[in-house]
């Protein structure tokens, strides 16, 4: 277990050793700041006169989730593929580190990075809360952030798993991105082909990421099935990673 | 301690190791010699738990590499051939990372010790990416030594080092080899000759020979090689010399000189000289060359070497 933390810590520090992490964090926060501006404009009246409904911070996290689909592949692409390419994997796997510790450590490192960015974006919620009266719906905000954290964890786990399959980070990037686009958009399309059999349609709809966030977590409604959905994605991603690392060793 | 029994490894249809067996005791430095693709790196990767053998058994530091891989890895220090390091990391951070992975109680202290051992203390705060090849090699060695392993496995440790660094490296290895087991691969024969207690020559995944460097030289080569240069009919002379008892492997070189070997203790030179003078030949030169490990190596791994370069004797 200590190894997981050691690897995660190195990975986290490593993000800040390259400009990529700063560029992604700055880009994310800049775009989300723009969304926040729009929200603020909408609540000027509230800020002046008070009353009305609470400010909906969910709109920002909705966008955060869209942006994650495009940035997570860049964050995870080199996690394991680069270790493979440069041969440092040999160094790690001849040290007393188990395969799952390596993969979970890598994932945890990237997860901590995204958590830091999510932490910074929390400023939006705090500002909105104090700027307008009656502030924001805090329960809804909590649920929205919880959902966002689960989405980030799931996407990062899938990206980590795919990274382990490749030697080349660009290949890992595009495969990860393609998977995310499928999970985000494309997998919902077949659902409309089965109008007579809603059960099949439901299967496809269940696989779509947005259906587990947009109208549930982000609307302040928690379903166990949504939590299970994200936890299973995390499990699938990490399992893929461990299997890929393991298979390299046994080839 | 390393004990390898019938180790076999297949890469798909290609057999990289053919039931290899050898042993290395504590305090012994073993040199692993062989041409490229002989199976040196494969053997080392199996011993370090990076990949499993297809069949056979390997015991390292008292543990089976298959069943107790983690225990083996705790006790082995390994320098891979390519010296993989994280270029974007600072030297001391990298070593601390490796020390933490190995659960060393006092990481900072061990890092300082390891850096001191390889003489890289003054570069501790520099980035690995800025180091020269030789310095990377030394950081790789520091990483392998950081947990004071019982068994040290070094894959071509002296490649890319300048002569001064090679001397230094050999000193470090000999120091370590005093109480630990060291297995190192090389294709620099003089290196094996200088630092190893025992040499294992492998070719095409099989052990060709295993002995001390001195014995190898004495046993295999046998003896001295004589190069002879005369003015006159070399073919006729060659036939005469062949008659002399003790002369072996007589051949004529393209440059007109004759070359033969004799076993130690059967010095045939006086007799050969007599033939030359009696036959009226003019002797230009007669010199002995002792066979080096290099020659043995070429001899033993002959099929592998595509075009053995003819050494110019004159």
Is the Cβ–Cβ distance between A188 and A205 less than 8 Å?
yes
Tell me how many domains chain A contains: 1
> What is the phi/psi pair of residue A185, to 5°?
-125, -60
User: How far is the CA of B303 from the CAs of B11, B204, B207, in angstroms?
Assistant: 21, 10, 15
Sorted by sequence, the CB contacts under 8 Å of residue A150 that are 6+ apart come out as A217, A226, A227, A230, A231
B157/B169 Cα distance (integer angstroms): 8
The three-state (H, E, C) secondary structure of chain A, written as one string: CHHHHHHHHHHHHHHCCCHHHHHHHHHHHHHHHHHHHHHHHHCHHHHHHCCCCCECCHHHHHHHHHHHHHHHHHHHCCCCHHHHHHCHHHHHHCCCCCHHHHHHHHHHHHHHHHHHHHHHHHHHHHHHHHHCCCCECHHHHHHHHHHHHHHHHHHHHHHHHHHCCCCCHHHHHHHHHHHHHHHHCHHHHHHHHCCCCHHHHHHHHHHCCHHHCCCCHHHCCCCHHHHHHHHHHHHHHHHHHHHHHHHHHHC
pLDDT value, residue A249: 67
Q: What is the DSSP letter of B127?
A: B
pLDDT of residue B124: 94
The per-residue pLDDT for range B11-60, each reduced to its tens digit, is: 888 999 999 999 999 999 999 988 888 899 999 999 999 999 999 999 99
Pairing mode, if any, of strands B198-203 and B29-33?
Answer: parallel
Q: Tell whether the model's pLDDT for residue B172 goes beyond 90.
A: no
- Per DSSP bridges, beta strands B206-211 and B55-60 are unpaired
The rounded distance, in Å, linking the Cα atoms of B130 and B110 is 23
**Which of B48, B85, B86 shows the shortest C-beta gap to A94?**
B48
CB–CB of B211/B218 below 8 Å? no
Q: Are A40 and A134 in contact (CB under 8 A)?
A: no
SS3 B66: coil
Among B101, B97, B95, B3, smallest CA distance to B46 is for: B3
* Two structure tokens written together for B129: 């990416």
A197 touches chain B (CB under 8 A): no
Q: What is the pLDDT of residue B308?
A: 44
Using only the alpha carbons of chain B, give its radius of gyration: 24
The string of pLDDT tens digits covering residues B4-17 is 999 999 988 899 99
Q: Mean pLDDT score of chain A, rounded to an integer?
A: 90
**pLDDT at site A197:** 78
List the single range of A166-170, B24-28, B193-197, B289-293 with lowest mean pLDDT.
B289-293
Q: Work out the minimum CA distance from B268 to partner chain A, whole angstroms.
A: 55
Chain B: closest CA distance from residue A247 (Å):
10
Tell which A residues from 14 to 53 touch B, by Cβ distance under 8 Å. Answer: 14, 17-18
What average pLDDT is seen over chain B?
A: 85
Q: What is the mean pLDDT of residues B222-245?
A: 76
Pull the structure tokens for residue B306: 């595509």
Judged against a pLDDT cut of 80, whether residue B292 lies above it is answered with: no
Residue of B nearest to A86 (CA): B84
**pLDDT one-digit tens code per residue, B137-151:** 889 999 999 999 999
More confident residue, A137 or A195: A137
Domain boundaries, chain B: 2-217, 223-290
Percent of chain A with pLDDT over 90: 63
Distance from C-alpha of B256 to C-alpha of A135, rounded to nearest angstrom: 103
Task: List Cα–Cα distances, A145 to A28, A167, B49, in angstroms.
Answer: 16, 34, 43
- B307 confidence band (pLDDT: 50, 70, 90): very low
Q: Enumerate the residues of chain A whose CB falls inside 8 A of the CB of residue B89.
A: 10, 14, 17
Q: How much is the average pLDDT of A210-226? A: 90
Q: Which of B100, B149, B154 to mutate to test the interface with A (most CBs of A within 10 A)?
A: B100
pLDDT for res B45? 93
Give the range of the structural domain holding residue A66, as residue numbers without chain letter: 2-250
| Predicted local distance difference test score (pLDDT) of residue A135 | 73
Q: For tokens 């974006």, name the residue.
A: A121
* pLDDT band at residue A43 under the 50/70/90 scheme: confident
CATH class of B223-290: alpha beta
Task: Output the pLDDT for position A239.
Answer: 97
pLDDT level of residue B83 (50, 70, 90 thresholds)? very high
> Which residue bears the tokens 């025992």?
B198
To the nearest whole angstrom, how far is the Cα of B297 from the nearest Cα of chain A? 30
Distance CA A209, CA A144 (A): 14
Per the listing, tokens 């070719």 go with B203
Asked, colleague to colleague, whether B2-217 and B223-290 share their fold, the answer is no
Report the pLDDT value the prediction gives residue B74, as an integer from 0 to 100: 94
When CB atoms are compared, the residue of A2, A13, A90 closest to B50 is: A90
CB A68 within 8 A of CB A60: no
Residue A231's pLDDT is: 97
Give ipTM to 2 decimals. Answer: 0.91
Is pLDDT above 50 for B304? no
Looking at the predicted structure, is the pLDDT value of residue A237 above 90?
yes
Question: Which chain A residues are within 8 Å of B84, Cβ to Cβ?
Answer: 86-91
| A125-138 residue pLDDT tens | 888 888 777 778 88
CATH node for B2-217: 3.40.50.300
pLDDT score recorded for residue B220: 57
């Amino acid at each position: 277990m200590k190894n997981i933390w050691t690897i995660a810590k190195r990975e986290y520090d490593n993000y800040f050793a390259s400009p990529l992490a700063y560029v992604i964090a700055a880009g994310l926060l800049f775009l989300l700041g723009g969304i926040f501006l729009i929200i603020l404009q909408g609540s000027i009246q509230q800020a002046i006169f008070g009353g009305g409904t609470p400010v909906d911070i969910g709109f920002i996290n909705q966008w955060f989730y869209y942006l994650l689909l495009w940035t997570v592949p860049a964050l995870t692409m080199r996690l394991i593929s680069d270790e493979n390419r440069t041969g440092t994997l040999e160094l790690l796997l001849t040290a007393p580190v188990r395969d799952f510790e390596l993969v979970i450590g890598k994932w945890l490192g990237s997860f901590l990075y995204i958590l830091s960015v999510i932490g910074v974006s929390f400023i939006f919620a705090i500002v909105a809360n104090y700027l307008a009266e009656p502030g924001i719906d805090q329960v809804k905000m909590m649920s929205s952030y919880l959902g966002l954290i689960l989405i980030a964890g799931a996407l990062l786990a899938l990206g980590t798993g795919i990274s382990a399959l490749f030697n080349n980070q660009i290949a890992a990037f595009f495969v990860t991105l393609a998977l995310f686009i499928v999970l985000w958009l494309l997998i919902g399309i077949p659902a409309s082909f089965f109008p007579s059999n809603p059960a099949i349609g439901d299967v496809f709809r269940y696989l779509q990421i947005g259906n587990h966030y947009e109208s549930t977590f982000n609307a302040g409604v928690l379903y166990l099935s949504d939590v299970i959905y994200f936890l299973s994605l995390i499990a699938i991603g990490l399992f893929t990673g461990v299997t890929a690392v393991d298979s390299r060793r046994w080839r | 301690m390393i004990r390898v029994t019938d180790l076999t490894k297949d890469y798909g249809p290609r057999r990289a190791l053919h039931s290899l067996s050898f042993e290395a005791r504590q305090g012994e430095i073993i040199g692993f010699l062989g041409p490229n693709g002989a199976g040196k790196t494969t053997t080392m990767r199996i011993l370090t738990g990076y990949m499993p053998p297809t069949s056979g058994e390997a015991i390292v530091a008292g543990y089976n590499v298959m069943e107790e891989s983690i225990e083996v890895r705790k006790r082995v220090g390994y320098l891979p051939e390519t010296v993989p390091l994280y270029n974007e990391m600072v030297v001391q951070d990298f070593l601390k990372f490796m020390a933490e992975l190995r659960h060393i109680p006092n990481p900072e202290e061990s890092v300082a010790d390891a850096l001191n051992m390889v003489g890289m203390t003054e570069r501790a705060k520099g980035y690995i990416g800025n180091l020269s090849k030789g310095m990377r090699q030394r950081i790789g060695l520091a990483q392998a030594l950081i947990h004071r392993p019982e068994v040290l496995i070094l894959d071509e440790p002296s490649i890319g080092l300048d002569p001064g660094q090679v001397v230094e490296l050999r000193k470090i290895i000999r120091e370590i080899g005093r109480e630990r087991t060291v297995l190192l691969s090389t294709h620099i024969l003089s290196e094996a000759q200088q630092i190893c207690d025992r040499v294992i020559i492998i070719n095409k995944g099989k052990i060709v020979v295993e002995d001390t460097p001195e014995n190898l030289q004495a046993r295999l080569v046998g003896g001295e090689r004589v190069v002879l240069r005369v003015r006159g009919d070399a073919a006729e002379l060659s036939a005469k010399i062949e008659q002399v008892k003790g002369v072996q492997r007589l051949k004529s070189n393209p440059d007109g000189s004759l070359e033969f070997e004799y076993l130690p203790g059967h010095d045939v030179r006086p007799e050969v000289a007599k033939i030359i003078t009696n036959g009226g030949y003019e002797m230009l030169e007669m010199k002995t060359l002792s066979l080096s490990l290099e020659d043995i190596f070429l001899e033993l791994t002959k099929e592998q070497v595509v075009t053995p370069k003819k050494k110019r004797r004159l």
